Amino acid sequence: MLYETQIKLPHLSLAALANCEVIDPRKPTLVCLHGFLDNANSFATLMPLLNNYQCVAIDMAGHGKSEHRSIDAYYHLSDYAYDVYQLIVTLQLRNFALLGHSLGAIVSSLYASTKPKGLRGFIAIESCGPLTQSADTTAAQLRECFISRAKANKAIIQPRNIEAVVKSRCAVSDLSPKHAQQIMIRNLKTDAVGNLQWRTDKRLRTNSAMRMTEEQASSVLANIECPRLLILGNQGFAKIKAAIALRDPVFLDVPISTFEGGHHVHLESVTPVANCIDKYCAHFFKS
């Protein structure tokens, strides 16, 4: 059984799903962070299979049922990592591991690189650290960022029905209709007369102001000291496999487990992935 909860941080409130009614800071805890435009429902089928641990899957800021950032703010990786820092402090977790998918794993890698006390391990699903661009694209990145922010000020088109939402998400991802609906239903709400509206912040779709260079990303990854595991889908994103090869020195000793599925492999091969996570968490929390 999963429980809905709200976690009030000093600067905003995050919604979350947990496999326990009360979060006990003394217990081994798995903090789960979803991918871009997903939400805590990304882990809804996985968490019931991880009952050896206390699991907390958050809706990252601007996603799902969590609060949006203030009107003068945007969604930078460093701010997401700071949210995780404040989450750990607020929950007073002393014995925890991170489980991140895609964007959630990128954010987790930034936080893990700060060597937080109590972090026992880090599992990344379909991610090998920050996306990068070369330094000579900096001005172009800023230009595209400014253009995308201006577009975000315009009114958005609200969804007609859940079927249309699912169809649109499937068109731009490798999600099945079943898994797309599982995720997207949490990104929607109904108004007073029953019309669907987006919960997600439209500013999530704005371009990054400035991505890290490859040197910066490699430095982040090299500073992660806790044990790690990388989970991939055999039909996952090719760019992730290419990045792993490029970053070979920092992934040399990181075990990689591959399962049947695409970018959301934890939804497609839920039981094998859960068994793998359970095995590695036993090692993380024992050591």
Where in the chain are the domains?
3-133+200-286
The SS3 assignment for 1 reads coil
Contacts of 89 (CB under 8 A, 6+ apart): none
* Structural contact between residues 184 and 162, judged by C-beta atoms closer than 8 angstroms: yes
- The domain 3-133+200-286 belongs to what CATH superfamily? Alpha/Beta hydrolase fold, catalytic domain (3.40.50.1820)
Query: How does pLDDT run along the chain (287 residues), one tens digit per residue?
Result: 999 999 999 999 999 999 999 999 999 999 999 999 999 999 999 999 999 999 999 999 999 999 999 999 999 999 999 999 999 999 999 999 999 999 999 999 999 999 999 999 999 999 999 999 999 999 999 999 999 999 998 888 899 899 999 999 999 999 999 999 999 999 999 988 889 999 999 999 999 999 999 999 999 999 999 999 999 999 999 999 999 999 988 888 899 999 999 999 999 999 999 999 999 999 999 86
Can you tell me the distance from the alpha carbon of 139 to that of 203, in angstroms, rounded to the nearest whole number? 21
pLDDT confidence of residue 281: 95
Based on the number of CB atoms within 10 Å of its own CB, is 258 exposed (0-12), middle (13-18) or buried (19 or more)?
Answer: middle
pLDDT at 287 (0 to 100): 61
Say how far apart CA 231 and CA 244 lie, in whole Å: 12
